[in-house]
A and B are shown apart, each in its own frame.
Chain A
């Protein structure tokens, strides 16, 4: 049984065994990341990510870390593509003002929604897009600051700043959690 190893193979060459190992190792994390980002078809997008990975797998350097970096770079690019496509072509279903993603909610609405929601994805949706992306990549995809910075095209300092602001916002939006935590204690 193949395992993802740090020793890089010869460049330009990747066998099916290595690809199987990569798929087993990273496909759950990719699927989780795409679900956390509320992609329409997370399973199908996960397949696309690995189909795009296969031709490039032979040229990857850096062992497991390099492969992980490449996998989530492709996943992030797929998510961005879908996000743009969604902006360009909004839903064609019947119009529901409550469900319109183009409507900007007021701060009061956001606070009420955050307090009344127990769904963490909805809570995540109240953050800025960059802050959402940083938390998804760091917490769900379990990537380091450097890898997240590389994938998002920012500096590690900027990633740390986004992460700090996201946590501050989450703390403000969930005062009820504090009460819940006190009750637990």
Chain B
């Protein structure tokens, strides 16, 4: 028996097995007519592999004909997908390295801070013109230094007090200016006017002014003490001290009241 005969016999047995199973499922297990029809139908099966078309032959690896261009779009799409993933990873890695280097560089960071602050400054409104609270509030510091001189033993000489009382009203605006500008010009203004008074200041009554001075030390900020060392304000020291104690948060009106309170001292 040749191999062809054997394969044909196997195939026939296979066909019969399939048809018998189908007839048994349908409820006609012993129907020979139907069995013959179904076996005839089964013979429609062919065993030879059909000749592939040129496109199919290109896929199957057989020599392609001239009218077939390429059919490996599928694999190319896969490689393109891989390329996109690789590019994304590479860009992310390089961005991470660059960001780390920028964060570690001190000069770059300071430059970045400067640039950012410049941008913020350009967007923020201009420096406000001296608002009311800032012009009035600094008044006490202007007069507060006066007691600072009171700490230096200085007598409450009437002439000196009157001399020092005069510049006091001016001190308020200058103090306001001082906060906005540099304090140096104020000193220059005050010193010439008070020069005579300071020279006339005896140093005997300094202790009498000491209580006021001790109170006055609490009020003024530390920054205002040095410039007023040479200024008089002795008689004003009490008033300023009172003014300081009572009206730290007061305005110019209270300031004047403090001067008025200091003037009666000048009379006697």
* Interface residue ranges, A against B (CB under 8 Å): 12, 16, 19-20, 23-24, 27-29, 31-32, 35-36, 43-44, 46-47, 50-51, 54-55, 120-121, 123-124, 135, 138-140, 142, 145, 160, 163-164, 167, 170-171, 174, 177-178, 180-181
Contacts and interface: CB of A to CB of B under 8 A. Distances in A.
Given A19-B59, A28-B49, A31-B46, A171 B41 contact: no
Contacts of A121: 44
Contacts of A170: 34, 37
Nearest to A32: B45
Q: Which 10 A-B pairs have the closest CB atoms?
A: A177-B33, A47-B53, A167-B26, A181-B32, A32-B45, A120-B40, A178-B33, A164-B26, A16-B61, A36-B44
Given A23-B52, A139-B18, A142-B18, 5 more contacts: A50-B52, A54-B74, A160-B26, A164-B25, A181-B36
A28 B33 contact: no
B33 A47 contact: no
Contacts, number: 106
- Classify chain B's interface size: 35 or more
Given A16-B61, A28-B47, A135 B34 contact: no
Given A120-B40, A135-B41, A171 B25 contact: no
B44 A140 contact: yes
A47 B55 contact: yes
B41 A139 contact: yes
B19 interface: yes
Contacts of B5: none
Interface in B184-220: none
A59 to B, nearest CB: 11
A120 B42 CA distance: 10
A54 B45 contact: no
A7 to B, nearest CB: 22
B65 to A, nearest CB: 13
Contacts of A24: 49
A15 to B, nearest CB: 10
Contacts of B25: 145, 160, 163-164
A140 B59 contact: no
B31 interface: yes
B34 A32 contact: no
Contacts of B74: 54-55
B50 interface: yes
Contact of B59 (A43, A54, A177): A54
Contacts of A35: 44, 46
A138 B34 contact: no
Nearest to A181: B32
B119 interface: no
A85 to B, nearest CB: 20
A44 B52 CA distance: 9
Contacts of A138: 22
B113 to A, nearest CB: 51
Nearest to A12: B78
B106 interface: no
Contact of B34 (A16, A28, A171, A180): A171
23 contacts: A12-B78, A19-B60, A24-B49, A28-B45, A28-B46, A32-B45, A47-B50, A47-B55, A47-B56, A54-B74, A123-B37, A124-B41, A138-B22, A139-B18, A139-B19, A160-B26, A167-B28, A167-B31, A171-B34, A177-B37, A178-B33, A180-B33, A181-B33
B27 interface: yes
Contacts of B40: 120
A139 B20 CA distance: 11
B34 to A, nearest CB: 6
B132 interface: no
Contacts of B152: none
B48 interface: yes
B38 interface: yes
